[in-house]
Amino acid sequence: MVSTVNRNSHPSMSTTKQSQTMPAEVDGKMLSSWLISVAQERDRRAFANLFKWFSPKIIGFGRKQFNNPVMANELLQETMTNVWRKAHLYNVEKGAATTWIYTVMRNISFDMLRKIQSNQEDTISEEIWPIAEAQNSDDHMFADHLMDKQLAQYLNKLPENQKQVVHGVYFQELSQEQLSKQLNIPLGTVKSRLRLALTKLKQHIGADYD
């Protein structure tokens, strides 16, 4: 008799909060091995370890993103539910487990933001540039998120005029009005280039991690 895996039947969150024996030090290889165990074996203990390790980081991000503890907890629940259901999509050759799970978190955050914000441009930018302060000062592994070399690779795929606008707004921290004057182009052109750039970045990132 062939057994089937029900990917939708995830462990209850109360189960994942039960006391687990965690290693004194957790590194990237260990996180990847847990995620692979969830994907291949539906390992509930491995999932509980992932839940325990990522919970404070996701909650911290959610509180700063939404300024609402209830929504932060919703972000945690939705993120880890999706991790359980979609773990089979994780490819260790494409990146670390932290990058993959933070990408899941970012996409959930984007969906939540779309429900509470009417400005699409601001929503997309929040998704791609999650608030840097969400990183715990003692959590060097959060640097594995899309804020470093990987994001630069996506930026390099943009047309030069769009990349120029993104660098001005998000790296030089110029206002759109200041950038308009600096580049000697209309403000509307800055806005349209930025909107197109953010949309393309979202597509590039989604293609790698969906």
d(Cα 109, Cα 92) in Å, to the nearest integer?
23
Task: Please report which confidence band the pLDDT of residue 142 belongs to, taking 50, 70 and 90 as the band edges.
Answer: very low
Query: Which is nearest to 50 in space by CA: 37, 63, 69, 65?
Result: 37
**Single-letter amino acid code for the residue at 111:** D
List pLDDT tens digits, range 169-191. Answer: 766 767 888 889 999 999 899 88
d(Cα 189, Cα 176) in Å, to the nearest integer?
10
Task: Please report which confidence band the pLDDT of residue 20 belongs to, taking 50, 70 and 90 as the band edges.
Answer: low
As a whole number, the mean pLDDT across the chain is: 76
**Single-letter amino acid code for the residue at 27:** D
d(Cα 105, Cα 61) in Å, to the nearest integer?
9
pTM of the model: 0.56
Q: CA distances (Å), 85 to each of 8, 152, 163, in order? A: 6, 29, 35
Amino acid 168: pLDDT = 82
Task: Please report which confidence band the pLDDT of residue 75 belongs to, taking 50, 70 and 90 as the band edges.
Answer: very high
Amino acid 89: pLDDT = 94
Amino acid 101: pLDDT = 93
Instruction: Tell me the average pLDDT across 89-110.
Output: 88
Q: Which residue has the tokens 């990408």?
A: 103
What are the phi and psi torsion angles at 119 (to 5°)? -90, 105
Amino acid 53: pLDDT = 93
Which letter, b or e, does each residue of 159-198 get, where b requires 16 or more Cβ atoms within 10 Å of its Cβ?
eeebebbbebbbeeebeeeebbeebeeeeeebeebbbebb
Q: CA distances (Å), 167 to each of 42, 162, 171, 198, in order? A: 42, 9, 5, 12
Domains and CATH numbers, the chain: 27-145 (1.10.1740.10), 148-210 (1.10.10.10)
181's tokens: 């004057």
d(Cα 36, Cα 16) in Å, to the nearest integer?
17
pLDDT score of 74 more than 80: yes
